[in-house]
Every structure is written in structure tokens, then in C-alpha cells.
Structure 1
Amino acid sequence: MREIVIFRQNQFRVSEVFIAQQAQALRRYAPLYMGRMRFGAGPEGARALLLRDLWQHAAWPRMVAQMATRDPAPYLRLLGKRRPALVHAHFGVDGVYAMEVARRLDVPLVTTFHGFDVTLSDRRFLCSPAWANYPLHRRALARRGQLFLCNSHFLRDQALAHGFPAGRTHVHYIGVDCSAYQPRAQADETPVILHVARLVEMKGTEYLLRAFARVADRHPGLRLAIIGDGPLRGRLEALAGALGVGARVLFLGARPHAVVMEWMRRAMMLVLPSVLTASGRVEGLGMVMLEAAACGVPVVASRVGGIPEGVAEGRSGLVVPPRDVEALADAMDRLAGDAAMRAAMGHAGRAFVVERFDLRRQTEMLECRYDALLQAHGGVDSP
């Protein structure tokens, strides 16, 4: 197996398990995770090279300096004598750092766009020291990157609008592991509406709370479980109390992915009421919807960004206009009151993700792209 670098400055975030899931599903290439810091344990046995481990003393000043200059030397020092076949960066903001590493190694660079990296306004990028290099060097990334992958057709359109080349920019759904997420039994279902999201404006949690308050009186045993944390948590908890549903809303905070999936299998529906924000942040696809569908759980979601690509509308879930509390409440009410509809949508959702989003098939397609890149780069045979 040939080794490749999976480049993400903040490795193993609980909200980004899809990166490691894709990498661990590789059959013919071995992932080597590289970045600035570790935010979680990562997969069992995963090999990770991190600047925080390299710099035991005065780490922050060194990391800030590297952040500003994009100097690849610290990463090359971490690699030592390793010579990976290619570098695969996740998020465009990481691609502008990874391209310097790939250039020094003389290997192809793959960059995957997941959402904010092709939707957020440049002003927002320039306000963050960690992101400011991205709009400054985005054109160079577009010229020098060998392959750009987008997690939805919506994101590809956004990437093209930002100047990325059409011939090297393609849609590639990461997918979900349909063998690991088996359909739950209907007996496992409990009267819980599940929302899994970072508590920020884009996720539309405020509208979910307002819709739940309308539905709660008609379904006395119904509860809303919110998994995730973020800057809006205090405000959202206060809103739930003001709406009179505070006792029926569970703010569970961030939880490991395995715990999220336990709640998923017990939920009667997953709700993702995302919105487009003034800054340009919007849902690129909504991986949690695919996980719900794989488990046979129906979805209620907003018609915004790439979300419609992840729902078989009317068959695996219901799609409503963003910020429309009444429409959201009506959809939740319909599903909560109709067990047969939930079962039918759960079954259809499972078939939908198996057909279009199976991780193993998608990863096999990714490896074929790797093969083609390496052959074009140096005439090297695939592993």
C-alpha cells in the first residue's frame, strides 16, 4: 500500500468524522494524517504527524509564524524520510498550506471542498488569522492543484464561481458506511426528534425550537434532543425556556460519534433546518442526513445549499423552505403523527443512500482518481 497524506490543520474534530471515515476506507492507499493540532483521538491505529507534537516548547509562537508564512519546512521535518505518493487536503483553507508541502515533495495535490471554503465571503476569511491566507492564495491553489473534489453539485457550482478550473473540479460524495450503519428495528424508535449540529446560526436551531413549541402540545410525550455545542447554546437554552418547552428539550452538548449514532437509532426523525447566513455560510450537503437515512430514520430539512441532494424528497424525507417555522412545524407534525409514513420513509432513505452514497463504492472511485493522478504525474503504476 502506498502512503498518502491526509492534510487537515485541525485533525480529528468530532464534527468532521467523515474525513477519517473516508481515509480509513481506503483499500490500496495508507493514510498518514498531518496537520497543526489534534482535536480528538482519531481512528484506532491511525498515524498522525502534528506540529503540536513537534514543538513541545514555545509551540504557539511557532505555529502562528507557520500560519502566517505557510512555510512547509516543519511538515517536511515531520515527514523525515517518508515520501508519500500524494497529498489530499480537506477544505480549501487547508489546501493553500498543503500545496506548499506537495510542491516541495513534487507530488500531486487533491483538495476537497466541504462548504464554507467556497461559500463564505472573503471578508470573513480575512478576519481570521487561520483563514486569511486562503483568499490571498486561492488563485495559486486553483492553478497548482491537480484535482478539486466537491461534496455536492451545489459546492461545485460555488467552486467554479470562485475561479477553480472546471476540468479539474468534480463532484465526489464522501458517502457513509452502509455496512456499519444498519437499518434500525421499528421497535427501537422512541418519541424523540433529533438535531445534530454545531450551535451556530447556519444550522437554524432557533427555527427548530420555535417549530417544536408548536408541535409539542399535540404530541405530549415528544422530546427534542440536540447534540452539539457552540456559541449560541446559552441563547438557545433561554429561548427553549421562553417558549415553554425547556423541560422537553435536551441540550446534550458535543458527543462522540458512537453516542450520536446511538441516539440516531432511537430517533423518530432527524431535523436539519439549516439556513443561508449573511456571511455566505450554508450547508454543503449535510452528512448527518445520510447517516440518518442509512439507519432508516426519516429526515426533515431545509431547501438550501446542497441539502436537497441528500434527500429523496417526499420519499426519504420532507424538505421545507428555510426559516419557515410554520412549514417546519407542519412537516414535523406529519411525521410525528404517522408511524407508517416514518417506516416507509426510513426504508426508502436506506435504499437511497445505498444507491448513491455508499462509502465503499465512493472510496473505490476516489482511489481510481488517485491512480490516474499518479500515472499522469510520473507514469507510476497504481499500487
Structure 2
Amino acid sequence: MARTPPRVCLLHDGPRLGGVATIVQELHDGLHDAGWAVDTAPPHPHAWRTARHADVLLAAHSFGPAYAAWALGRALGKPWVVWVHGPLQEVLNEARSAPAKRAWLRWLYRQVPQFVFISRHARTSLEGFLGQPLPDARAHVIPNALRLPRAPLRTAPTASGTVELGYVGRLSPEKQPERLIAMLRLLPPRYRLSLVGDGPLRAALEQQAADLVHTERLAFCGARPRATALAPDWHLTLLASRYEGGCPLSAIESAAAGIPFVAPPLPALRETVPACLLAPGDSPAQLAAAVQQVLALPSLQIQRALDSLLARHAVPRFTDQWQQVLREAAAC
């Protein structure tokens, strides 16, 4: 007879849009489809009304929800798990976090009974922040996954036709979209770039790249829903982030849509992204060279690379690994 799954209280304060919200919803739906009861609560004092009925508490990320999971876990005697989506040291450095906050986080994270990281790099970053390794019994690595329809590989551009490049993400400093614009200037005129997303850098980028917009080599498309972010005429999608916690959802979505991508060789990406899709570095010249090299690859090699990536980010594996972690946590 099958065991009844533990009841989960998912503590989540994030926006409805964005990568973390998307993957949290993916886990919620996967557990629900597997017969689990998952209650969602924002991390504020009233969450105890939901948390008291749970067998295990899950903090949807390592800040506000983790604080609530610690408090509720202590007050109610419940086991708790913290989900880590980013490389902590890089995130805190980018935010210029105060010493007091860093001290509080070090103390808190030493209390966490179970972590789930989206990559080995995310685990290594948190261990570096703590100044000590975590035992494997407390640290689990589960790569993100998305349920997406598969599309055939996009047709490569003709030798003389326009090459459509795309980017999906925030126009913010850590994403380094300015490097993609600098890269575009190094490519032949038949290459065009569409930037899908918004953010604090948009106005400055529009001003700096006005000549490229005027010649229709560059388009600022604004934010779009995830389902329509990838344009049907793109030949390649691009990433240029300074850091990543794991394989970005935009890369997984691109692979499922049959669109190859080029990314810098970040530690988290090297874990699951085939080497043929990684640039040798993150400079505009290195990204430009990688774009041309990937577009020149045989279609069979590109298809195998995309298949390999999607296999490593498969939903059944993602859901099964999470069920195992939550069962073990609830049994403690």
C-alpha cells in the first residue's frame, strides 16, 4: 500500500512573474499531480495557521521565506527545508549587503536542517559564505525543470539572409545586456538583436544604441509573458549574465522551442550546458565569435546538445528528487 505523502507548507513571498516564481509553481504543480497536499502561505505571522497543519515547511527561497521557516519551525516543532536559487556570495556582493545582514544570514543558515540547491555551484557559493562545507545529508542538488512542449529544431539562417538573435531577461546590471549590444556591433550588418525585457538600464541602453535602433539592427521589445517571449523567427538566443545560480529558465525554454543558444562559461552553466553552446569567455568579442560558431554547427550536433540539456532538466527527475527530499525531511 502506497504511503500517504507528507503535507507541505510552501512559504513564498515572490512576485507572480520571474524565474523563481515560475519554478516554484512548477514544483507546486508537480507535487500536486503526484498526490501531495501543498498549502501556500506568505511568510508573515499569520502563516502559522497554515503551517501548523503541515508535516514539513518549505521556504521557496533563502531570504524572507527562510526567516519565516526558521521561526515557524522552532515555534511549531516542524522540520523545514530551504530552497537556494542563486550563488549567495555573488548575490550579496551585487546587493552590497551590510555586515549585519551577512552575520545574521551566517547564523541562520547554520541552523537550516536541509538545503536544496539548483546547482553544485550554488551549494559551493553558500559553503564559501559560511566558511565551511555542508554535510551531504543537509545539502541536495536538484536542477530546475519546466514542463514544455518540444518543437523541432529551427531552420538555420541562409548564407545571405538576416540572422535574428534574441535575449529574454531583465535589463539590469547583473544580466549585462550592454555586452550583447557591444557584441552586435562586432557582427556583420545582417545580424539583428531583439531584447525582450525591461529594467533599470533600458533608458541608458536605448540612448547608447540609438544608431542600431535607427538602422533596425536592434529592437527593445519590452517585457512579454513567458509563453510568448521567444519569437518564432529567432535563430539563436543569448545570455550574458555576470553570474547564474543554475541553468536559466530562458535557456531551457529556448532548447524546448528548438532554438540553440549561446552563453558565457559560468560555473553553474558548465554543469548541464553542452560545451558547444558555451562561449570561451564573456567579452563581446568572445560572444560574437561563439554566435557565428554555433550557427555554423551541423544541425544534428545542435539537436543532440539541446536534447542533452533537456534530459538533465527533465520534469520527472525534478519531481521525484523533490519528493524524496521532502519525505526524508518530514521523517526527521
Same fold (TM over 0.5): yes
Amino acid in the other structure paired with 2:201: L
Unaligned segments of structure 2, at least 5 residues: none
Q: What are the within-5 Å matches in structure 2 for residues 337-352 of structure 1?
A: 338=296, 341=297, 343-352=299-308
Question: Which letter maps to 1:32?
Answer: D
Q: Is the 8 A contact 1:297 1:342 kept in 2?
A: no
Task: Please point out which of 69, 73, 90 is paired with 1:119.
Answer: 90
Counterpart of 2:48, as a letter, is L
Contact 2:154 2:235 in 1 (8 A): no
1:276-319 Cα offsets, whole Å, 9 max, x none, are xxxxxx211223212222333212111124122231012xx132
One-letter amino acid matched to 1:107: K
TM-superposed deviation, 1:334: 3.1
Please point out which of 50, 69, 90 is paired with 2:60.
90
- After superposition, the Cα gap between the structure-2 partners of 1:24 and 1:118, relative to the gap in structure 1 and judged at 3 Å, is farther
The answer to whether structure 1 residue 235 and structure 2 residue 235 are counterparts is no
Contact 1:295 1:346 in 2 (8 A): no
Change (3 A) 1:215 1:117: same
Q: Contact 1:296–1:349 at 8 Å: present in 2 too?
A: no
Out of 355, 358, 371, which is 2:311 matched to? 355
CA RMSD between the two structures: 2.7
Instruction: Give me the whole-angstrom Cα distance separating, in 1, the residues matched to 2:89 and 2:9.
Output: 22
- In structure 1, C-alpha distance between the alignment counterparts of 2:169 and 2:303, rounded to whole Å: 24
Counterpart of 1:214 in structure 2 is 186
Amino acid at match of 1:350: L
State the distance in 1 between where 2:233 and 2:57 align. 39
What CA deviation, in whole Å up to 9, does each residue of 1:111-165 have, x standing for no partner?
11111534333693646xxxx9853432343233221111111111111112263
Does the alignment pair 1:12 with 2:16? yes
Where does residue 292 of structure 2 map in the other structure? Answer: 333
Superposition TM-score, scaled by structure 1 size: 0.74
What are the equivalent positions in structure 2 for 1:32-111 lying under 5 Å apart?
32-35=39-42, 73-77=45-49, 79=50, 83-94=53-64, 95-111=66-82
Once the two structures are TM-superposed, the CA of residue 227 in structure 1 deviates from its matched residue by 1.4
1:63 maps to what in 2?
none
Quote the Cα distance in structure 2 between the aligned partners of 1:253 and 1:105.
45
Percent identity between the two aligned chains: 21
Q: How many residue pairs are counted as aligned between the two chains?
A: 316
Tell me, what secondary structure is at the counterpart of 2:237? Answer: strand
- 1:211-290 aligned at under 5 Å gives the runs 211-217=183-189, 219=190, 222-242=191-211, 247-260=216-229, 262-263=230-231, 266-275=233-242, 282-285=243-246, 286-290=248-252
Q: Distance in 2 between matches of 1:269 and 1:160?
A: 35
Residue type at the aligned position of 1:269: L
Distance of 1:122 and 1:328 partners within structure 2: 25
Aligned mates of 1:321, 1:153 — CA distance in 2? 20
Kept in 1: contact 2:6–2:56 (CA 8 A): no
Q: How far off is 1:22 after superposition?
A: 2.1
- Alignment partner of 1:320 is 2:287: no
Structure 1 Cα separation of the partners of residues 249 and 272 of structure 2: 8
Would the aligned equivalents of 1:14 and 1:256 in 2 still touch at CA under 8 Å?
no
Q: Which runs of 5+ in 1 are unaligned?
A: 37-71, 276-281, 378-383
2:17 is matched by which residue type in structure 1?
R
Contact 1:207 1:273 in 2 (8 A): yes
139 and 165 in structure 1: CA distance in 2 versus 1, 3 angstrom threshold: same
Q: 1:172 — aligned with what?
A: 142
Distance 1:310 1:373, change over 3 A: same
Aligned to 1:182: 150
SS in 1 for 2:144: coil
**CA distance in 2: counterparts of 1:310 and 1:240, whole angstroms:** 33
